[in-house]
Amino acid sequence: MVPRVARVHRRRTETPDVITLDLEPEKGDGGDSVPFEPGQFNMLTAFGVGEIPISHSGDPMNPDRPVHTIRAVGAVSSALVRLRPGDAVGVRGPFGAGWPIGAAEGRDVVLVAGGLGLAPLRPALHRLLAEPQRYGRILLLYGTRSPEDILFRRELESLRQRLEIDIEVTVDHAVSEWRGHVGVVTRLIARSEFDPLNSIAFVCGPEVMMRFAVGKLRDAGVSDESIHISMERNMKCAVGLCGHCQFGPSFVCRDGPVFPLERVRELLAVQEI
């Protein structure tokens, strides 16, 4: 329960309200690399302000420098977004159940991301693209509000050159220079080529977007067992003790944040329990 201390090694501005921090654990403070699975999260402390859950957004093959992508929405996230290289941050984790990458072997993999939802999917993308021959088609369908909200833009542009992955990006509101899709990300599902009977889908984004994505994936023929979604609930302990993140019979911190759809189907419509 006691956070390790890490220093901000690098800070990148992704969009007007989202930054990415590369952290370096302090030597002698459990500073060895702590492995994590794609989809897991850390509890990050902004000292003197508070602690919040933030997903890993870096490469799981390089856990020495944990990477986190953060949007400023309230007191703690804004304090983390204000950190500069050299500043201290508390780190507890990793916690939770991540994306079932093993179950994706031999199947098409459809990643559906809305907005900041791309951050928790990025480690899965790294893992899949490290050994693409183990999977069928790999598709990333990504939607943001506007072109300036696209996360990891340069990385996506360079990944698009690779033959092992199809990347489609759509925006809700276009500007005149935008040449890509316009409209909600869920529309891309029907247009995409994958084998619904031999595919697995990982979905992350606002709950309303995930509900529609689930509907479109089902319409396309993907079974509920093959759809996995990442849920967010307010958290305190992150280890299944306080009940703060209760989601029906499950605790999001311990049993999630990634759940198979069949486990949370009935609860997906419930805002907060």
Ligand X SMILES: Cc1cc2nc3c(=O)[nH]c(=O)nc-3n(C[C@H](O)[C@H](O)[C@H](O)COP(=O)(O)OP(=O)(O)OC[C@H]3O[C@@H](n4cnc5c(N)ncnc54)[C@H](O)[C@@H]3O)c2cc1C
Interaction site with ligand X (CB under 6 A): 41, 50, 52-55, 69-71, 73-78, 116, 119-120, 232-235, 257
Asked whether position 196 contacts ligand FES by CB under 6 A, the answer is: no
Q: Which residues pair with 212 in a beta bridge?
A: none
Choose the stretch contacting ligand FES; rule: CB under 6 A; options: 124-132, 150-158, 221-229, 234-242: 234-242
Asked whether position 31 contacts ligand FES by CB under 6 A, the answer is: no
Residue 104 or 253 with smaller CB distance to ligand FES: 253
Asked whether position 273 contacts ligand FES by CB under 6 A, the answer is: no
Residue 220 or 239 with smaller CB distance to ligand FES: 239
At a CB cut-off of 8 Å and minimum separation 6, what does 154 contact?
A: none
Whole-angstrom distance, CA of residue 101 vs CA of residue 104: 5
CB of 112 to ligand FES, least distance (A): 25
Contact 151, 14 (CB under 8 A): yes
Choose the stretch contacting ligand FES; rule: CB under 6 A; options: 107-115, 121-129, 229-237, 260-268: 229-237
What, of ligand X, ligand FES, none, does residue 211 touch, CB below 5 to 8 Å by kind?
none
- Cβ–Cβ contacts within 10 Å for residue 249, how many? 8
Phi–psi pair at 6, nearest 5 degrees: -130, 160
CB of 186 to ligand X, least distance (A): 20
Whole-angstrom distance, CA of residue 253 vs CA of residue 52: 12
The first and second tokens of residue 78, run together, are 């804004």
Helix (H) or strand (E) holding 213: helix 207-220
Choose the stretch contacting ligand FES; rule: CB under 6 A; options: 67-75, 126-134, 172-180, 235-243: 235-243
At a CB cut-off of 8 Å and minimum separation 6, what does 126 contact?
A: 38, 58, 59, 60, 61
- List 201, 237, 261, 264, residue binding ligand FES (CB under 6 A): 237
- Cβ–Cβ contacts within 10 Å for residue 157, how many? 12
Which residues lie near ligand FES (CB under 6 A)? 235-238, 240-245, 251, 253
